[in-house]
């Protein structure tokens, strides 16, 4: 889930492309991002993993209605989620 939310936030952080996508779909992508982040927070709390990036994503989904602020917040959230995703991937052993 961390990687999914990272990729979604990274897409929304692309200048103009993310903004056009959000506006063209009537701000629905921000609601989808909010739900994805909320679900990931619940999963991470159950697994006792880091969820700060997703909490930031919830905030970003709300303030992203402001054009430039939203773009900056999506970028910061994507970076935070990337770092957390790498940390979780390294911590989890796969056999």
pLDDT, tens only, 17-43: 988 998 999 989 999 999 999 999 999
Mean predicted confidence (pLDDT) in 55-62: 93
Contact 45, 87 (CB under 8 A): no
CA-atom Rg of the chain in angstroms = 13
Closest CA to 9 of 38, 40, 39, 30: 30
User: Is the Cβ–Cβ distance between 80 and 1 less than 8 Å?
Assistant: no
pLDDT at 50 over 70: yes
Provide the pLDDT for residue 89: 79
Q: Above 70 in pLDDT, residue 84?
A: yes
Alpha-carbon gap, residue 38 to 55, rounded angstroms: 8
């Amino acid at each position: 889930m961390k990687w999914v939310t990272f990729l979604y936030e990274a897409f929304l952080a692309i200048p103009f492309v993310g903004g056009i996508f959000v506006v063209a779909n009537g701000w629905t992508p921000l609601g989808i991002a909010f739900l994805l982040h909320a679900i990931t927070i619940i999963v991470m709390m159950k697994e006792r993993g880091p969820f700060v990036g997703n909490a930031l994503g919830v905030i970003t989904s709300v303030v992203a209605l402001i054009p430039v602020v939203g773009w900056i917040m999506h970028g910061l959230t994507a970076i935070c989620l990337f770092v957390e995703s790498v940390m979780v991937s390294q911590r989890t052993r796969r056999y």
